[in-house]
Amino acid sequence: MFSRTVFSRVARQTALSAIRPAAAPVKPSPFLLSVAAQRRLLSDAVRQAIDKAVASAPVVLFMKGTPETPQCGFSRASIQVLGLQGVDPEKFAAYNVLEDPELRQGIKEYSDWPTIPQLYIDKEFVGGCDIIVSMHQSGELAKLLEEKGVLVKDHKEPAEGEKKE
């Protein structure tokens, strides 16, 4: 009986201290620490290399794998959407982040976006796969790509049920 009462008091004090924010010191989240560490890792040289990569073509995709052999489903979906849109291969560049750990971490800080793939159009960050797909479905991506003049001449997306040429 004694140990049960003592245990109950200890358990109650522990529970109360957990719900009193002022009683417990605030510790930074491990996630925030890792983000802060990532920010410190992006050197000027890496930032300049990413600047150069983003400026290398009007449409730039940082992805896992290559356009011919994507290494994740999100990268594959992004490449498929750009293909369906009719992006001119001469105005497109892809960078495989799996080949360079500095690029893989650096691009996340550069864009302040935590996931890969990442799409840039005319040196401006557009978003990741979810945004690319959403813009494709709404027609926003087609409009943006047309405005930037990065589509193959006379490209027409096939209507539903129609075969691709």
Residue-by-residue pLDDT tens, the chain, 165 positions:
222 333 344 444 444 444 444 445 555 555 555 544 445 567 888 999 999 999 999 999 999 999 999 999 999 999 999 999 999 999 999 999 999 999 999 999 999 999 999 999 999 999 999 999 999 999 999 999 999 999 998 655 555 555 554
pLDDT for the residue numbered 40? 55
Nearest-angstrom CA–CA distance, 65 and 70: 4
pLDDT for the residue numbered 43? 84
- Counting Cβ atoms within 10 Å, is residue 120 exposed (0-12), middle (13-18) or buried (19+)? buried
pLDDT for the residue numbered 18? 46
Domains of the chain in start order, with CATH, are 32-147 (3.40.30.10)
pLDDT for the residue numbered 29? 54
Strand 59-63 and strand 92-96: the pairing is parallel
**Torsion angle (degrees, nearest 10) of CA 28, 31, 36, 41:** 150
